[in-house]
């Protein structure tokens, strides 16, 4: 109200999150007449109530499979390998890389296997000259994110912990921030935090 913003109830959905593999969970009563859902899309990322990303992977592979038909048509028309790579980056990799830092740290080995199988198939069909791997894509995305986050004026710089100070001359590290304490892998693999542990 203060910002002149009103909630459109017809477009409002309610989702209740819980930890994965929780033994006992009592869902609270729904709020008013809003739709109670088990998953919802936010800025291109499908969030599930159990904090899994199976639906995200399914949606990504569905879009990529549909777009692969265009790659087949271009290949059959004799498009060069260099240009095929460019089109593959524009149509396929951009979908996989979209918000990768947000969900990449939480996917299971089975999810990774699905994506890697698709990427190997694209190479086998001649749609791209390089066999990409989802772990490499996640690592590259996290490295880019950390580099950006370290800039003082970056919008998520405030998420970083305090800089670690030492009187000793230590080996060169990927960053100089304190590693936050953690008890659950869900936190350790979350957005931004995963970068600190991966490039410590």
Provide the pLDDT for residue 137.
Answer: 95
Provide the pLDDT for residue 162.
Answer: 77
- For CA atoms 181, 187, 193, 198, the dihedral sign is positive
Most confident of the ranges 61-70, 143-152, 181-190: 61-70
**Measured distance CA(33)–CA(37) in Å, rounded:** 12
Beta-carbon-side half-sphere exposure of residue 52 (alpha carbons within 13 Å): 13
What is the rounded radius of gyration, in angstroms, for the C-alpha atoms of the chain?
A: 21
- Domains in the chain: boundaries: 12-48, 55-138
Q: Which two tokens stand for residue 190?
A: 């979350």
Nearest CA among 49, 1, 44, 42 for reference residue 22 = 49
Provide the pLDDT for residue 174.
Answer: 64
pTM (2 d.p.)? 0.80
Question: Residue 55 pLDDT > 60, yes or no?
Answer: yes
Provide the pLDDT for residue 165.
Answer: 67
Beta-carbon-side half-sphere exposure of residue 131 (alpha carbons within 13 Å): 6
């Amino acid at each position: 109200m203060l910002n002149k913003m009103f909630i459109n109830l017809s477009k409002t959905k309610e989702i209740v999150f819980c930890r994965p593999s929780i033994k006992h969970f009592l869902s609270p009563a729904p709020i008013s007449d809003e739709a109670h859902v088990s998953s919802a899309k936010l800025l291109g990322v499908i969030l599930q109530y159990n904090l899994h990303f199976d639906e995200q992977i399914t949606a990504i592979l569905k879009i990529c499979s549909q777009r692969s038909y265009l790659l087949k048509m271009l290949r059959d028309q004799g498009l060069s390998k260099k240009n095929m790579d460019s089109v593959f980056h524009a149509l396929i990799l951009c979908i996989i890389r979209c918000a990768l830092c947000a969900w990449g740290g939480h996917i299971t080995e089975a999810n990774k296997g699905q994506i890697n199988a698709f990427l190997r198939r694209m190479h086998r069909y001649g749609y791209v000259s390089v066999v990409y791997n989802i772990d490499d894509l996640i690592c590259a995305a996290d490295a880019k994110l950390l580099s950006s986050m370290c800039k003082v004026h970056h919008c998520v710089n405030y998420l970083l912990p305090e800089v670690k100070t030492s009187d000793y001359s230590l080996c060169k590290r990927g960053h100089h921030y304190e590693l936050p304490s953690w008890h659950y892998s869900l936190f350790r693999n979350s957005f931004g935090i995963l970068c600190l542990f991966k490039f410590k």
